Amino acid sequence: MKIIEKYGKSFDNKAILRTPEWIENQSENARIKAKKFIKEEKEALNACPMCESANVVEFTRIYEFIYKECQNCENLFLANPLKDLQKLYTNDGSESSFECYLNDEIFHKRLEFIARPKVAFIDEVARKYQQTKLWLDIGSGGGENLYAAKDLCYEVRGFESDYKALKFSNEKLKGDYVKEGFLDIQNCNKELLESIRESNVITFFNVLEHLDNPRQTLEFFTQNMAKDALLVIEVPRHPSLSSYANAQASNRVYRHLIPPFHLNIFSEKSLEIAYTSCSRGGGLKLVGKWVYGQGFMDIIHAFEGFDKNQSLYEKISLVSNQVQKILDENGLGDFLLLVLQKI
Ligand SMILES: [Zn+2]
């Protein structure tokens, strides 16, 4: 059967309340966080973590963190990640990393503009394979993906380690759908493992880039998923215009290349190497792909004082979706959503 492919996704910064102030704030936060961790003990990677090639060149430096590009598979990776990645994600529980998403207005906007289109695309692919109806979202955040899937009559289940986000999403979903937990492939939570085995659709969005073992993680899913079930990942993508924008304005990054958090910015080839080499337990095959991005606006946001002339900035913003679609169709999108089927 043919792979379903899609390019471009309309995006409205304004609609999801990403104002120029918000963007400036995010870039300031990214700087503070990178600097906070720069003195920690680090690894030194000399080979591509995805294909193991040693043919790698420096791509850019962002606050002393170095991203290298693999010349074999085009994967971009953080060459000096923290030795102890746990340090990046520990907090005392009083602060939620989802804080900015956990309010009604943002929830509904993210639901309409981000979650529903994604869930509809996945549903379109799933229907081709007559999947039955259990949808599992690992790292379910504020719960908007589950909400959209539930509206399409899926039975839904989520796992989230952030307590505030979990509580918020269960309130929205009106039930105990989201459990506390995260994926640890060395020592997988029993309930989560059961869910992985039973589910027909598993969404794992924006997590793989944070893990130091993306290949093993894909392998883990392959070993534990049911035959014909779908695994859907969403990751930052390279080569892309966003990578270029981040490299050219490395002191103003606020998304995409955010060290020390994003360890890999995956190329399609690097992921293909990973999921086709998942041989134990059957393997995965590509059945759906959606490429989209915001690189055009990243170029605009790379300039200091980008909104000084507000009416001109708004005019530029208005054409961004059209321009971005051309970029996405030509291999320069910065987000990649892959639907992989267990064979
Ligand atoms: Zn590589």
- Which segments of 16-83 does DSSP mark as H helices, in order? 20-37
Task: Give the alpha-carbon dihedral of 299, 302, 308, 311, to 10 degrees.
Answer: 20
Find the domain containing 234 and state its range. Answer: 4-342
Alpha carbon of 107 to ligand 1 centroid (Å)? 37
Strand order in the sheet with 4-7: 4-7, 284-292, 335-342, 230-236, 201-205, 134-138, 155-160, 178-180
Alpha carbon of 264 to ligand 1 centroid (Å)? 11
The helix/strand/coil state of 307 is: coil
- Contact predicate 275/283, CB 8 Å: yes
- Contact predicate 341/285, CB 8 Å: yes
Q: For residues 44 and 40, give the distance between their C-alpha atoms in angstroms, rounded to a whole number.
A: 13
Alpha carbon of 209 to ligand 1 centroid (Å)? 15
Radius of gyration of the chain (CA): 19
- Contact predicate 273/320, CB 8 Å: no
Alpha carbon of 270 to ligand 1 centroid (Å)? 6
CATH number of 292's domain: 3.40.50.150
DSSP-derived letter for residue 210 is G
Alpha carbon of 9 to ligand 1 centroid (Å)? 28
Alpha carbon of 101 to ligand 1 centroid (Å)? 34
Q: Calculate helix-pair angle for 116-128, 144-151, nearest 10 degrees.
A: 50
Better-scored residue on pLDDT, 110 or 336: 336
Task: Give the alpha-carbon dihedral of 308, 309, 314, 317, to 10 degrees.
Answer: -60
pLDDT, position 2: 87
In the chain, the percentage of residues whose pLDDT exceeds 90 is: 82
Confidence of residue 100 (pLDDT cuts 50, 70, 90): confident
Alpha carbon of 31 to ligand 1 centroid (Å)? 28
- The owner of tokens 């207005």 is 105
At residue 204, does pLDDT exceed 60? yes
DSSP-derived letter for residue 42 is B
DSSP-derived letter for residue 208 is G
Q: For residues 129 and 99, give the distance between their C-alpha atoms in angstroms, rounded to a whole number.
A: 37
pLDDT, position 169: 96
Average pLDDT score over the chain:
93
**Which has the closest alpha carbon to 237: 272, 279, 186?**
272
Alpha carbon of 288 to ligand 1 centroid (Å)? 23
Confidence of residue 8 (pLDDT cuts 50, 70, 90): very high
For the whole model, what pTM was predicted? 0.94
The string of pLDDT tens digits covering residues 28-50 is 999 999 999 999 999 999 999 99
Alpha carbon of 300 to ligand 1 centroid (Å)? 30
Alpha carbon of 52 to ligand 1 centroid (Å)? 6
pLDDT, position 231: 97
pLDDT, position 66: 98
Alpha carbon of 74 to ligand 1 centroid (Å)? 6
pLDDT, position 174: 97
Least confident of 195-199, 276-280, 287-291: 276-280
Number of domains present in the structure of the chain: 1
- Contact predicate 225/193, CB 8 Å: no
Better-scored residue on pLDDT, 106 or 335: 335
